[in-house]
Homo-oligomer: A and B are copies of this chain.
Amino acid sequence: MDEFSFIAKYLKPLAAHFPGSLNLSDDAALIAPPPGCELVITKDAVTEGVHFLGSEPPELIAAKALRVNLSDLAAMGATPLCYFLALMLPKNTGEEWLENFAHGLAQTQKEFSISLAGGDTTATGGKLAISITAIGTVPTGQSLKRSGAKEGDDIYVSGTLGDSALGLELLQQGEHDNHFINRYLLPQPRIELGIKLRTVANACMDISDGLAQDLGHICAASNVGAVVYKDQISLSDCHPAFIAGSGSRDRRGMTEKALTHGDDYELLFTAPLSKKPQIEEISKSLSLPITCIGKIIAGNTVKILDASGTEMILSKKGFRHF
């Protein structure tokens, strides 16, 4: 199957309901935000051997590539609008793979009401690489940023952390299809939460490189410090830290994973105490746990404290590409 047949057969249907895509027949797409809104634009690439193993079903690779970008939109409080796809394909990629990849995009588009708007399909002499640019809209001035955290703010995290780290381990050990592996393969962008936080959070980002490092980004952008109470970090109920072992609930190893492993794609945000009732209401309405894990303080460091108030020293802070 050649390049143009692939675009015509599998990509054009993904752009059919978005007029600005010009049916993928032009050099570029045309986009204007709705009145009173601005565009939120993010670009995240994923590459074989770094962000995914390569052996996953192509539907899942496509879904994850799009979802990590949707997670950035969620972090800014944006409503998804459209995306651009650059697909760099190793030679001899077969039609079945391409069809399944497009199917993964189609499913994700439907779930998050987003459309393909343009992009580029090219060969690579290297490994599979996927670059997506996702565009969302937000009422002008209401986007969430990393820079708004204020001394005294509570620090919140949605969902549970560390699931994805464990999922990757289990996958590498040959397991498949359990809660943790699904969390690794199919992250859940917290779009609805981001939208509801527009008027609630002072600062927000998604956790892609590990809580400790990402909270450091909020602190640096906001010129503040933070203290995190490690026992308040929320792990999955079915996590081995609870259900296996001696019953001593020694969560240290698991909590360290939750603190330093990326790929959780939960939202990390800060808000003043006065917003606590609203945050509880949002948590209830979305059936999504939101946990207070610490406080924004003066200074410029992130301290992780255990139950006795002793500072935890992390063996690494978070994921770095190089």
List the number of copies, as a whole number.
Answer: 2
Q: Is A78 an interface residue (CB 8 A)?
A: yes
* B39 and A76 form a contact (CB under 8 A): no
> Does A206 belong to the interface (CB within 8 Å)?
yes
* Given A45-B131, A49-B124, A22:B145 Cβ within 8 A: yes
Cα–Cα, bound, A32→B131 (Å): 23
A148 to chain B, nearest CB (A): 11
Known: A3-B321, A47-B122. A76 touches B129 (CB 8 A): no
A288 contacts chain B at the CB level, 8 A cutoff: no
Alpha-carbon distance A30/B144, docked complex (angstroms): 11
Tell me, rounded to whole Å, the shortest Cβ–Cβ distance linking A130 to chain B.
Answer: 9
- Asked if residues B322 and A50 are in contact (CB atoms below 8 Å), the reply is no
Cβ contact of A86, chosen from B44, B122, B138, cutoff 8 A? B44
Contact sample, A vs B, 11 pairs, CB 8 Å cutoff: A25-B221, A27-B72, A28-B40, A28-B73, A28-B136, A29-B40, A44-B120, A47-B129, A86-B131, A124-B127, A124-B129
Is the pair A125, B50 in contact by a Cβ cutoff of 8 Å?
Answer: yes
Q: Is A199 at the interface (CB under 8 A from chain B)?
A: no
- A198-231 interface with B by 8 A CB criterion: 205-206, 217, 220-221
